[in-house]
Amino acid sequence: MSSTALAERADGRLGFGGTLARWSRRFVVGSILIAVVLVGGTAVRVWQVARISDLTEADAIVVLGAAQYSGTPSSVFAARLEQAVKLFDKGVAPRIVTVGGKQVGDVYTEAASGKNYMIGRGVPADRIIAVEEGSDTLLSIEGVSRVMGERGMSSAVLVSDPWHSLRARTMARDVGLEAWTAPTRQGPAVFTRESQAHGIMRETGALLWYQLTHFSADFPYTAVQ
């Protein structure tokens, strides 16, 4: 007798209630397995893209903003800016775009503080475009896409923390930019195994949320900024 026939006979002995309970258990177990595979697969992709540093020439180097204090970039932000300076010096792109608005009570925007920092590092002011808007990754990317489009630019190498790379790249491509990543390899996001694990978990959740809703979910760092 086939397994299907045996299952049907068993279901008949269990009755409606027993059959419903059996299939409910199977549904729950199946859903958990799917969730584990989805979350695990996304985490692996976050980790894989974090390891990529693509130095293909682009129209602009785009530095994703982070916290700044009265015009002084936080250690997280400074690490990103230093990476952008290195890429600019290597000739990866002729322009650098800084992006990010300001919190209530701030005098400087993230974009302005980033621009000032890089001018201090020797990057010519006329080579830096400050997009002073965006309170999260998606709004920042949308602002960058619009400003670059107005200037006839369409390709960008994105600079952020390694674990942020996949989500930033996904958003950039969704808004029409040709985008790849060259993340920083220094700063609090990569200091310790704990910060790396936290970054991967945070970005896995944020990316899944974005893919499900197309809204951004930016979570704060636990590392000292």
The answer on pLDDT for 106 being more than 90 is no
Model pTM above 0.85: no
Which of helix, strand or coil describes residue 116? helix
pLDDT at 101: 93
Q: What is the pLDDT of residues 129-186, one digit of tens each?
A: 999 999 899 999 999 999 999 999 999 999 999 999 999 999 999 999 999 999 999 9
The answer on pLDDT for 118 being more than 70 is yes
The answer on pLDDT for 66 being more than 70 is yes
CB 161 within 8 A of CB 80: yes
Which of helix, strand or coil describes residue 212? helix
Task: Please give the Cα distance from 216 to 178 (Å, whole number).
Answer: 20
How would you classify the pairing of strands 72-73 and 96-99?
A: unpaired
